[in-house]
Amino acid sequence: MEFCAMLVVTAPVGLALTNKASASQAAKNIGSARRPSVIWLHFQDCTGCTESLLHASRPDIADLIFNIISLDYHETLMVASGHQADAALRQAVNDNNGKFILVVEGLIPTKDKGQYMKLAGQPALEVLRAIGSKAAFVVAIGSCASWSGVPSADPNPTGAQGVDSVLAGKTVVNLPGCPPNSYNFLSLVLEYTAMHRMPALDKYNRPKFAYDRLIHDHCPRRGHFDAGRFATTFGDESHRQGWCLYKLGCKGSVTHVPCSTLCFNDIPDVWPIGIGAPCVGCTEKDIAFRVPMFQTVEIHAATPSDSIPSINTPIGSIGIAAAATAGAIAGATVTAAVIASRRLPDGKGMHVVEKSQGTAKPKDKNIDPEGR
């Protein structure tokens, strides 16, 4: 019930499970569903996605594998190894042919016929194709499996590729993130299990319920961005005060992911920006491991959210009666306040792209690191 309540709040869009449903209704739908068979394969990865799953608490890993899904194969969590593990994999595939959910963690080496990684004597490339063809659908969990990751960084010596590049024509749902939040994976599985349908996907095959928002639009440091207060050096006073990390290379302005609204390990501020590190854009295909970590990116339509008053809000004129009542001293005070509120800072370092009638036009906007 606790997880369903969180799901209704944090993922209200793109899930039939939470569409016009209360937490109790969502829990009822989940409780009546049959546990799906899940087969989890590891390729070129660091096991960070599995670590994220292990640290979930609502539900925790025990509740997940005993009451929600049937985790029939997972090299990191299973007891069996060697021939026993291989036999368990074959049995799980045969018993649930066409019905199981295949989860893939890590990139797949494809160069030289996939000889750079083997499972039970077979190239990982062949293993993925053989098992993927029998799955109901495939989940590429993490940025590596989705499309990017350290193994594919230039010069990509093993020819590492994402899952959807290997399984052409197969339904592959991408859950990028380094690592992704485990609740995004759980929500996806429950949607398929309880509602018998896939969630709405964006053009990159990411579920819209998790990747429909920019970090920038919900960032707790957004107020500092709008006021022109930026940290310029790690550890300096502006950084310790929690100012905006844009000038330190933060990619939150172009990154779609719910990190700012759904924290890791169920602990507030457990995510990069929350601990003072810039977002690296790990969920974006053309950003993660492609753009240098501390290089700034262009900001599109950089306007404050509705909940934050703009520092450049136009001020209406003062009526004659009001001016007469206020007097010369009050009038001078109001004028000084208006000028101060509309003063544009004179710092450097930001390049803003504003859209006008569908065309992006670059415009330099001066923003002072001290917020003056």
Whole-angstrom distance, CA of residue 260 vs CA of residue 210: 11
pTM metric for this prediction: 0.74
Q: 141 or 360, which is more confident?
A: 141
Asked if residue 261 is part of any domain, the answer here is: no
Of 34-38, 255-259, 324-328, least confident by mean pLDDT is: 324-328
Q: 203 or 329, which is more confident?
A: 203
Q: Which residue in 76, 73, 14, 41 sits closest to 163, CA to CA?
A: 41
Highest mean pLDDT among 59-68, 177-186, 248-257, 322-331: 248-257
pLDDT, one tens digit per residue, over 140-162 is: 999 999 987 888 888 899 999 99
pLDDT level of residue 289 (50, 70, 90 thresholds)? confident
Rounded to an integer, the average pLDDT of 54-81 is 87
Asked if residue 260 is part of any domain, the answer here is: no
Burial of 83 (0-12, 13-18, 19+ CB in 10 A): exposed
pLDDT of residue 117: 95
Whole-angstrom distance, CA of residue 73 vs CA of residue 86: 9
pLDDT of residue 194: 78
What are the structure tokens assigned to 279, written together?
């977002």
- By residue range, what is the domain housing residue 8? 2-211
Of 124-138, 191-205, 274-288, 329-343, least confident by mean pLDDT is: 329-343
Tell me which long-range contacts 152-155 makes (C-beta under 8 A, separation of at least 24). Answer: 152/107, 152/289, 153/289
pLDDT of residue 103: 97
pLDDT of residue 267: 82
Asked if residue 179 is part of any domain, the answer here is: yes
pLDDT of residue 186: 85
Asked if residue 346 is part of any domain, the answer here is: no
Rounded to an integer, the average pLDDT of 319-328 is 43
Q: Residue 229 in contact with residue 52, Cβ under 8 Å? A: no
Whether 93 has a pLDDT exceeding 60, the answer reads: yes
Whether 122 has a pLDDT exceeding 60, the answer reads: yes
3-class secondary-structure state, position 362: strand
Q: 359 or 151, which is more confident?
A: 151
Asked if residue 238 is part of any domain, the answer here is: no
Asked if residue 178 is part of any domain, the answer here is: yes
pLDDT level of residue 33 (50, 70, 90 thresholds)? low
Asked if residue 128 is part of any domain, the answer here is: yes
Asked if residue 183 is part of any domain, the answer here is: yes
Pairing of strands 118-119, 101-105: unpaired
Instruction: Give me the CATH number covering residue 87.
Output: 3.40.50.700
Total domain count, the chain: 1
